[in-house]
């Protein structure tokens, strides 16, 4: 597996996922 | 047979009473630590936080843990304590593993003893087990403070410190000593070389000499207490608590099982103590206890008290399967007569069980570990009789049979809000909880949090069952294979971490030349499910509790529904049963029920 591609991609995916959770938290205020 | 689960339940109930009082005392800030510990508490205390600040702190902390975990696993090949020279995990497996331990799931798409050095076990696994286990505990404490109507819900970092340092560390030390006394390894060595009793049982070397056995060891007794107490469940060894060095004796098995029960039990009572409504929490406790007892009895009746149908005699016959080209849409398939295998089954289904723990220990453990979302296993889940396999699935689907630390109680609150809403609708009153009227905003937040779990199980399960991601990964065709897929996503979404097994989800180390072909989609799919099913059902209830808690308490009248009665308990139990069945009965029918009613080798 190409580490140059997959390693940063998986790292970014985790951060994006946590970012989605943050956006969800902010959205809860407007429900 | 019944003595083990009965003793476990009784001991957990007894211990939960003083522990809950200690937890409430601690989380209400009444404990004054010695100066050498207090300085750190003061260091991390950033002041009182409102619900948004608390949630933000939790997420920032989680980002830090994610980055830290990713870097540690990335550096494994060059890190110390790696005399076996283990390489790096494949990147999607690193993603899956870091998310798994961050979210307290501990779903393992790798084998701990084969893929992790002692450095990774100590620096990555151990801190994650303490810290991720504390997050749910902290979230429940914040919800309680919000329900009390407090403008601020505490400080996340102070709560985290108190839970980890004053609860998990001392209790882990006690269990660690017990486990070491029972024979669990505790060493920085990576391997021990042993001469086998039967010469040559490990094969011969180039010179024709009998090979010795190389046994992987390490700081097992440091990991296992928090693995169980924190309802983490991630094994040091691939075989988890079925491994003789991870669970050496029947006594160790008793304490291992007990360890995963005591904190979830205690937190329900802590909820009542901190709210000043102990009778209300006892009702909730009893509802959870009834569900857990029912699921333990279910799995034991259909596994410990029934033979394995794959080994018993079957008469010949025919069964029908759907076929669109047939005149009536079905065709008859002959089912040959099968003679019984020469296996003594008077002790029930013993396939995949560790008999050194007792005949019922595997089945009881299967129910308990999924009820409290621990995910450790001491028997092969895939080998449970079909109907018995339904018990662990139900535990994960409803996800509030005591549940994980804090999150189980939070999940039950969601069912509770739905229950009081339905009861309010039936009598034409605005629903109330804790004397406060449940409005549209609270209901929306509760429903969002409640629906995240089934959506994240059913959606990906359907996608994988319909594509080669699932069908090419399952080890068994038909209903059993479908159960394997549903179980994997149920485990991921419930943050449980146990596996039904049979699925090819392991890539292993990055240089593995023969990985499971579908490992990558499973790594990414379950990783995302674990992440969202962890945080969204924690965030929305904290917001809900804040908005409900700040409302004025309505005076108690004749029409007020009492929340500390048997009637309320029945309402809660009924709500969980009805909502749970509406959400999950179809997949239960397609998986375990179809397998039981279907043809041999399992049904018939």
Running along chain B, 604 residues long, what does each successive block of 10 average in pLDDT? Answer: 94 97 94 87 92 96 96 95 92 96 93 90 93 95 95 94 94 96 93 88 86 91 94 91 94 96 96 95 97 96 90 80 82 80 88 90 94 93 92 95 91 95 86 90 95 97 95 88 94 93 88 90 96 96 95 82 91 95 95 84 50
Both structure tokens of B448: 């969002």
Q: Per the structure block, which two tokens stand in for B366?
A: 């299967």
- Could you give the CA distance from residue B502 to residue B380 in angstroms, rounded to a whole number? 10
Burial B478-501 (b: 16+ CB within 10 A, else e): bbbbbbbbbbbbbbbbbbbbbbbb
| Selected residue of B75, B91, B442 to mutate for chain A interface (largest A Cβ count, 10 A) | B91
Q: How much is the ipTM here?
A: 0.97
Q: How many helices (H) and strands (E) does chain A have?
A: 1, 0
Question: How would DSSP label each residue in B356-388?
Answer: GG-TTHHHHHHHHHHHTT----SS-GGGS-TTT
Query: In the beta sheet, which residues pair with residue B432?
Result: B437
Closest-approach residue (CA) in chain A for B533: A21
Question: Structure tokens of B564?
Answer: 């500390």
Could you tell me which residues come within 8 angstroms of residue B469 by beta carbon, excluding any fewer than 6 positions away?
B463, B518, B521, B522, B525
Give the distance from CA B317 to its chain's centroid.
41
Interface of A to B at Cβ within 8 Å reads 1, 3, 6-7, 9-11, 13-15, 17-18, 20-22, 24-26, 28-29, 31
- Contact between B92 and A6 (Cβ < 8 Å): yes
The predicted structure's pLDDT at residue B453: 96
pLDDT score, position B604: 42
Q: What is the pLDDT of residue B600?
A: 62
B88 is written with which tokens?
């790096």
The phi and psi torsions of B320 (rounded to 5 degrees) equal -105, 140
Residues of A in contact with B74 (CB under 8 A): 7
Q: Given the DSSP bridges, would you call strands B191-194 and B432-433 parallel, antiparallel or unpaired?
A: unpaired
List beta partners, residue B194.
B213
Look at residue B302 in the predicted model and tell me its pLDDT. 94
Three-state secondary structure call for residue B311: coil
In this complex, do A18 and B531 lie within 8 Å of one another by their Cβ atoms?
A: yes
Q: If you write DSSP's letter for every residue of B531-579 in order, what string do you get?
A: HHHHHHHHHHHHHHHHHHHTSPPPPP-TTPPPSSSHHHHHHHHHHHHHH
3-state DSSP percent of chain B in helix, strand and coil, to 5: 60, 5, 35
Q: Which among A1, A9, A15 has CB closest to B90? A: A1
Contact assignment for A13 to B55 by CB distance below 8 Å: no
B197 CB burial (10 A radius; 0-12, 13-18, 19+)? exposed
Q: Length of chain B, please? A: 604
Q: A6 vs chain B: nearest CA distance in angstroms?
A: 6
C-beta atoms of A28 and B445 within 8 A: yes
Indicate the SS3 state at residue B308.
coil
Q: Quick one: pLDDT at residue B323?
A: 82
**Which parts of chain A register pLDDT below 50?**
none
What does the angle CA B415 – CA B565 – CA B560 come to, to the nearest 5 degrees?
A: 80
Burial of B98 (0-12, 13-18, 19+ CB in 10 A): buried
For B136, residues 6+ apart whose C-beta sits below 8 A from its C-beta are: B104, B404, B405, B406, B407, B410, B538
Distance CA B510, CA B515 (A): 9
**Whole-angstrom distance, CA of residue A19 vs CA of residue A27:** 12
Contact list, B91 vs chain A (CB under 8 Å): 1, 3, 6-7, 9-10
Report the gap between the CA of A23 and the closest CA in chain B (Å).
Answer: 10
What per-residue confidence (pLDDT) applies to B601? 55
Mapping DSSP to helix (H, G, I), strand (E, B) and coil, where does residue B309 land?
A: coil
Phi and psi dihedrals of B472, rounded to 5?
A: -85, -10
Q: With a threshold of 0.80, does the pTM exceed it?
A: yes
Contact A1, B523 (CB under 8 A): no
């Amino acid at each position: 597996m190409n580490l140059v591609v997959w390693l940063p991609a998986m790292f970014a995916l985790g951060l994006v996922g946590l970012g989605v959770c943050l956006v969800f938290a902010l959205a809860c205020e407007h429900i | 047979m019944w003595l083990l689960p009965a003793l476990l339940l009784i001991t957990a109930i007894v211990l939960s009473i003083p522990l809950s009082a200690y937890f409430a005392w601690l989380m209400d800030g009444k404990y004054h630590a010695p100066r050498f510990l207090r300085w750190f508490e003061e260091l991390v205390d950033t002041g009182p936080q409102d619900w948004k600040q608390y949630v933000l702190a939790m997420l920032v902390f989680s980002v830090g843990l994610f980055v830290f975990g990713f870097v540690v696993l990335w550096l494994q090949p060059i890190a110390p304590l790696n005399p076996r020279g283990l390489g790096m995990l494949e990147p999607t497996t690193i993603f899956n593993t870091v998310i798994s331990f961050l979210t307290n799931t501990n779903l393992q798409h790798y084998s701990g003893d084969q893929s992790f050095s002692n450095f990774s076990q100590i620096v990555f696994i151990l801190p994650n087990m303490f810290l991720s286990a504390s997050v749910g505990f902290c979230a429940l404490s914040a919800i309680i403070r919000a329900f009390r109507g407090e403008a601020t819900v505490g400080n996340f970092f102070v709560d985290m410190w108190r839970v980890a340092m004053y609860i998990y560390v001392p209790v882990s030390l006690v269990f660690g000593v017990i486990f070491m006394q029972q024979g669990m390894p505790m060493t920085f060595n990576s391997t021990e070389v042993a001469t086998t009793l039967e010469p040559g049982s490990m094969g011969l070397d180039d010179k024709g000499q009998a090979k010795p056995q190389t046994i992987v060891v390490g700081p097992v007794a440091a990991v296992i207490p928090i693995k169980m107490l924190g309802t983490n469940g991630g094994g040091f060894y691939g075989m988890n608590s079925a491994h003789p060095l991870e669970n050496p004796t029947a006594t160790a098995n008793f304490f291992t099982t007990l360890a995963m029960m005591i904190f979830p039990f205690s937190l329900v009572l802590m909820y009542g103590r901190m709210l000043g409504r102990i009778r209300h929490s006892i009702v909730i406790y009893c509802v959870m206890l009834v569900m857990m007892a029912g699921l333990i009895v279910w799995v034991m009746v259909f596994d410990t008290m029934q033979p394995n149908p794959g080994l018993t005699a079957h008469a010949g016959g025919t069964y029908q399967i759907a076929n669109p080209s047939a005149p009536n849409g079905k065709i008859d398939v002959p089912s040959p007569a099968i003679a019984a295998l020469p296996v003594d089954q008077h002790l029930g289904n013993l396939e995949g069980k560790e008999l050194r723990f007792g005949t019922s220990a595997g089945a009881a453990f299967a129910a308990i570990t999924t009820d409290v979302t621990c995910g450790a296993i001491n028997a092969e889940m895939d080998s449970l009789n079909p109907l018995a396999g339904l018990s662990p699935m139900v535990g994960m689907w409803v996800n509030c049979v005591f549940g994980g630390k804090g999150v189980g109680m939070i999940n039950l609150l969601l069912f509770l809000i739905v229950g009081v809403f339905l009861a309010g609708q039936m009598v034409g009153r605005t629903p109330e909880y804790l004397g406060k009227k449940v409005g549209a905003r609270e209901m929306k937040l509760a429903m969002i949090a409640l629906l995240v779990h089934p959506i994240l199980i059913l959606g990906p399960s359907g996608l994988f069952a319909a594509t080669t991601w699932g069908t090419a990964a399952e080890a068994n065709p038909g209903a059993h294979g479908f159960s394997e897929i549903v179980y994997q996503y149920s485990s991921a979404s419930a943050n449980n971490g146990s596996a039904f097994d049979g699925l090819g989800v392991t890539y292993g180390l990055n240089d593995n030349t023969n990985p499971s072909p579908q490992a990558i989609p499973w790594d990414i799919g379950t990783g995302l499910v674990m992440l969202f099913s962890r945080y969204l059902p924690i965030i929305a209830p904290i917001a809900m509790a804040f908005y409900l808690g700040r409302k004025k308490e309505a005076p108690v009248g004749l029409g007020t529904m009492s929340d500390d009665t048997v009637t309320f308990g029945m309402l809660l139990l009924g709500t969980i049963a009805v909502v749970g069945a509406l959400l999950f009965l179809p997949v239960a029918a397609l998986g375990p029920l179809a397998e039981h009613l279907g043809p041999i080798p399992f049904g018939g």
